Chains A and B, each alone.
Chain A
C-alpha cells in the first residue's frame, strides 16, 4: 500500500473501570480505512464496535480509558490529542452518526438550528449565513420542503427524517471520515435502504472514508468494500466483503455468516453460535477470546494471537484458520 490511509488504528486497547473490576473492552485493535473507502465493523452486541468508534472520536464515557494504541488521522494521533484540539477536529474532519436518531438530536432545538450550530462552530458559515447553509444541507440529504423542515423540532419528524438530519449535521463541514454507528437500527426496512444509499452516495461524491458499524453482515456486504469482524474486543478477521462471504477463514466469521439470513439459507437453517462472549473482567482471559466457544481449538491457541496475512487485504487472527 502506497497511499496514506485516512485513518490507521493501531494496537488500540481500552479498559472500563466498573464496580466489579476492570473490563478489558478492547485489546490491540488495529485496522485501516483508505480515503474514499467504506469498511464495516461487524460483530455481535458487546464485541466492542461502538467503543472502538467512541475511542477514536474521543467521546468515551468517563469510566473508559484508552490504555494503549494510536489512531493516526491526517498526520496526527487522535488518541494523543488534547481535548481542545480534538474538539476542533470532531464535526469538521471526522464525524459520527448514531443509532436511534430521534434521541440523538436535541429535543427542544429546531433541527435547522442544530445544523447551524455545527457550521458556525467550525467556521463553515457565519451566524447570519448559517440558517441558509443549514437549509442547503437539508436539501443535500433530500429532505422535501427543507425551508419548512428547518423550523421543525425532532419530535415532529419521522425516524428516517431525523437520521437524515443527523447525516446533514455530520456532513455539514465535509469531513474526511464518517463513522456511522448502526445508522439504520430502529428504522423500517425501506427507510434503511434509502439511508444507506444516501450515505454511500454522499461519501462517494466527496471521497470521504466511511466506517460503518453494524451487526448486519448482509447490509455490510452490500455497501462496504471491506469487512472487519470483531469478537469480544479483538479483531478476528478483516477481508474484502466478497472474499469474506465466499471464504471466511476465522471460525467465528464462518459461524456469523451461517447465522445470517441470505438468499440461500432459510430461517430454519440458520445456525446460532454456541456460547456467549467471555466475561471480560476475568484476569485469566485466554489469548484467543473465542477459544472457549471454538470447535477448532488447538493447544497452540493459548499462545498470543497471530495476525496472519492471507493475501493482500485479508487478515485473520487465528492459529487454526479454516
Chain B
C-alpha cells in the first residue's frame, strides 16, 4: 500500500514540473503589460521602464525562469502587484474559505446523491428512480452561477430568509479564532454558537447551488454502477444463499459499486474547485477563485501563478487520496502494485 502511494506520488512529479513551466510561460505570454498597468495610466515611458526593471521583467525569459524557480524553492510566490501583499499569505487566508465551501457542497452532494442512486437502482422503474432521473437532468442542465443567482434572488431578495450574499460572515459578527480556517469548525470548537449559525447561514446558498450541480454525476454514476453490480453473478450467488436483502445490497453490491463512484467523486471535486470561481463571484465569497479572477483581469501574474500552482498541488493530493480510498475498498488494487 505504502509502495503504491509512493509510486503514485513519483508519477505526480513530472506533472508538477510541467505545471511550473506552463504557469511561468502562460503568465508571461498573456496579453497586457503588468508594468504599464502597475505604473498607472498617466505614467511616462521612462517610469514604465523603471518599474519593468524593478520587477525583473526586462531580463530574458530564461533568466526570469531561474529567478522564479529559486523563489519557488524558498516558498516565495512573489507579491501581488495590486495589493502589495505576499501571494503565499493571501492564498493561505483565502484557501480555507474555498475549502470550506467546496467541502460543504461535496458532503451535501454525497449525502443526497449516493442514497438516491442506490435506491433508484434497487427500486428500478419506481417513482424514486424517476425522481433520480429528474434530479440528475436538472442538476447538469443548470449552471452553478445560474442556480446561485436564482437562489440569491429568491431566498434573499424575494423571501428574505437568507442573509445578503456578501461573503463568509455578516459584518456585525467577528470571525472565530483561527484554528483550521474553516469558520464552521473553528466556531464549533470555540463554542461560539452565534458565529457558527451566522457562518452556516452564509454558507448555505453557495454550498447548495454547488451541491445541486455536483450531485447529478454522482447520483447517475451510483445508480448505473449499482445496476451493473446487482446484475452480476456474485449477487445471484448471494441471493441464492438466502442472504438478507440488506446484506446483499449494502455489504455485497454497494461496496463493489462504490469504486466508480469514488472516481467520479474525484472528478467532481476537482471540477468544484474550478466552479468555485463563479460561485465565489456571485456570493462575494473571499476564496481563491475570486482572488485569481481579480488578478487575471489586472494582469497581476504572481497571484495567478500561485493560484494555478496551488490547484495543481491540490489535484495531486486529491488523486493520492482517491488512490488511498480505492486501495481501502478494493483488495485487488492493494495487491497489484
Contact = CB atoms under 8 A, between A and B. Distances in A.
Interface stretch (B94-102, B105-113, B278-286, B324-332): B324-332
Which of B233, B251, B332, B335 has the most chain A CB atoms inside 10 A of its CB? B233
A118 B242 contact: yes
B247 interface: yes
A143 B237 CA distance: 20
Contact of B332 (A100, A105, A118, A155): A155
A103 B241 contact: no
A92 B240 CA distance: 10
A108 interface: yes
A117 B234 contact: no
A98 B233 contact: yes
B178 interface: no
A107 B242 contact: no
A162 to B, nearest CB: 11
Given A108-B329, A108-B332, A117-B251, A90 B234 contact: no
A95 B236 CA distance: 12
A90 B329 CA distance: 28
A108 B330 contact: yes
B255 interface: yes
Contacts of A87: 239, 242-245
Nearest to B245: A87
Interface in B300-333: 329-332
Contact of A108 (B124, B233, B238, B331): B331
A288 B236 CA distance: 32
B244 A107 contact: no
Given A95-B241, A118-B243, A122-B242, A59 B332 contact: no
A170 interface: yes
Interface string A80-115: 000000011111100110101001111111000000
A105 B239 contact: no
Given A87-B242, A121-B242, A98 B236 contact: yes
Contacts of A100: 233
Contact of B241 (A109, A121, A156): A121
A104 B332 contact: no
Nearest to B259: A108
B239 A121 contact: no
Contacts of B177: none
A51 interface: no
A103 B242 contact: no
B242 A89 contact: yes
B122 to A, nearest CB: 12
A169 interface: yes
A104 B232 CA distance: 8
Contact of B255 (A103, A108, A121): A108
A105 B234 contact: yes
A223 interface: no
B238 A106 contact: yes
B252 interface: yes
B209 to A, nearest CB: 36
A31 interface: no
A103 B240 contact: no
A166 interface: yes
A153 interface: yes
| Interface-centre pick from A95, A105, A109, A169 (highest chain B CB count, 10 A) | A109
Given A108-B332, A153-B332, A103 B243 contact: no
Interface in B219-254: 232-234, 236-245, 247, 251-252
A118 to B, nearest CB: 5
A57 interface: yes
A29 to B, nearest CB: 19
B256 interface: yes
Given A87-B244, A117-B251, A121-B247, A103 B239 contact: no
Nearest to A100: B233
Interface in A95-154: 95-96, 98, 100, 103-109, 117-118, 121-122, 153
B234 A107 contact: yes
B234 A106 contact: yes
Interface of A: 57, 59, 62, 87-92, 95-96, 98, 100, 103-109, 117-118, 121-122, 153, 155-156, 166, 169-170
Given A118-B241, A153-B331, 19 more contacts: A87-B239, A91-B240, A91-B243, A92-B242, A95-B240, A95-B241, A96-B237, A103-B232, A103-B234, A104-B236, A104-B237, A106-B237, A107-B234, A108-B331, A108-B332, A109-B252, A109-B255, A117-B247, A155-B332
6 contacts: A88-B242, A91-B241, A98-B240, A104-B234, A105-B234, A107-B234
Interface of B: 124, 232-234, 236-245, 247, 251-252, 255-256, 329-332, 335
The 4 A-B pairs with the shortest beta carbon distances in the complex, nearest first, are A91-B242, A90-B242, A91-B241, A103-B233
